[in-house]
Structure 1
């Protein structure tokens, strides 16, 4: 079981991102989410975390895959969700919260590899998620915070523990 969740809330050509006040990724734009608590399922966690961080109650977030990483600073992983909300949804941004600053960002801006303000791995896996390539395990290898390798594996019967062994 992975320890974290992340959700990308999409409205038309924008995604609601959080510029985090806390580590990890302090000062970087990222999806919303966080640590799975106690006996929560990852679905329960993302619904709770999204509400705590944005005030949005997710009705049917789509589970799209996992992101796992190996690093000289520690290994980990997260369950990835995508949720589309109607244009009529009115989340006024920018909005300062305890977690950081929420703001709607254009997808092209988020995915631009020259953009150093967005968590770096998002530019690799989010395009696949947005293109409907779901049920993937996105595998990253880092050294000192820099991505050395990125690969994907189709879910089916492939387990998370096996994905770490392959890295």
Structure 2
């Protein structure tokens, strides 16, 4: 079982991202999430973490695969997608204890010259949005330098 979750929340053609004010990935735009607590399922964890980091109650999350980050230590992440419920609003930019939240368009996120978005998000997000089967996205790093990225099908869905 992996220790972390990540949620990418969509509102129409925009995605809610967090510019982190602390490590890991300080100063980079990424989704919201965090550590899975004892007794939590990955889905329960990502719903709790999303509320803690954004104030949003996301009742339904869709498991979208896993991310494996291999560097000096290996970290595994359960990835989820969610749509902002129609009865909720979040006006941004909005500062939280974790960083700054803001809605970003997909073309902004994926812009090759945009160095402020965490590199692995730019690599896996297009595949996740196009996928017909769940996938594991594996990234090999030397420090912060990406050495390799590959994708394999996942055997089963995680909840």
Change (3 A) 1:96 1:120: same
**Following TM superposition, by how much is the alpha carbon of 1:113 offset from its aligned partner in structure 2, in angstroms?**
2.0
User: How many angstroms apart in 2 are the aligned matches of 1:102 and 1:28?
Assistant: 11
**Following TM superposition, by how much is the alpha carbon of 1:111 offset from its aligned partner in structure 2, in angstroms?**
1.1
TM-score (norm 1): 0.89
Show the counterpart of 2:130. 131
User: How many angstroms apart in 2 are the aligned matches of 1:56 and 1:134?
Assistant: 28
How many residue pairs were aligned?
A: 156
Q: How does 1:63-82 map to 2 (within 5 A)?
A: 63-71=63-71, 73-82=72-81
Show the counterpart of 2:40. 40
TM-score (norm 2): 0.93
Show the counterpart of 1:2. 2
Question: What SS class does the counterpart of residue 130 from structure 1 fall into?
Answer: helix
- Where in structure 1 are there 5+ consecutive unaligned residues? 158-167
**Following TM superposition, by how much is the alpha carbon of 1:70 offset from its aligned partner in structure 2, in angstroms?**
1.3
Question: What SS class does the counterpart of residue 147 from structure 1 fall into?
Answer: strand
Cα RMSD, aligned residues only: 1.4
Question: What SS class does the counterpart of residue 122 from structure 1 fall into?
Answer: helix
**Following TM superposition, by how much is the alpha carbon of 1:51 offset from its aligned partner in structure 2, in angstroms?**
0.2
Map Cα deviations across residues 25-76 of structure 1 (whole Å, 9 max, x no partner).
01111100011111211111000000001111111100010000211x3111
**Following TM superposition, by how much is the alpha carbon of 1:130 offset from its aligned partner in structure 2, in angstroms?**
1.6
User: How many angstroms apart in 2 are the aligned matches of 1:88 and 1:111?
Assistant: 28
Shift >6 Å, 4+ stretches: none
User: How many angstroms apart in 2 are the aligned matches of 1:56 and 1:101?
Assistant: 15
Of 127-136 and 38-47, the range deviating more from structure 2: 127-136
- Where in structure 2 are there 5+ consecutive unaligned residues? none
Question: What SS class does the counterpart of residue 119 from structure 2 fall into?
Answer: coil
User: How many angstroms apart in 2 are the aligned matches of 1:101 and 1:134?
Assistant: 32
Show the counterpart of 2:59. 59
User: How many angstroms apart in 1 are the aligned matches of 2:91 and 2:140?
Assistant: 37
Indicate if the aligned counterparts of 2:20 and 2:27 stay in contact, CA closer than 8 A. yes
Indicate if the aligned counterparts of 2:56 and 2:88 stay in contact, CA closer than 8 A. no
Indicate if the aligned counterparts of 2:10 and 2:83 stay in contact, CA closer than 8 A. yes
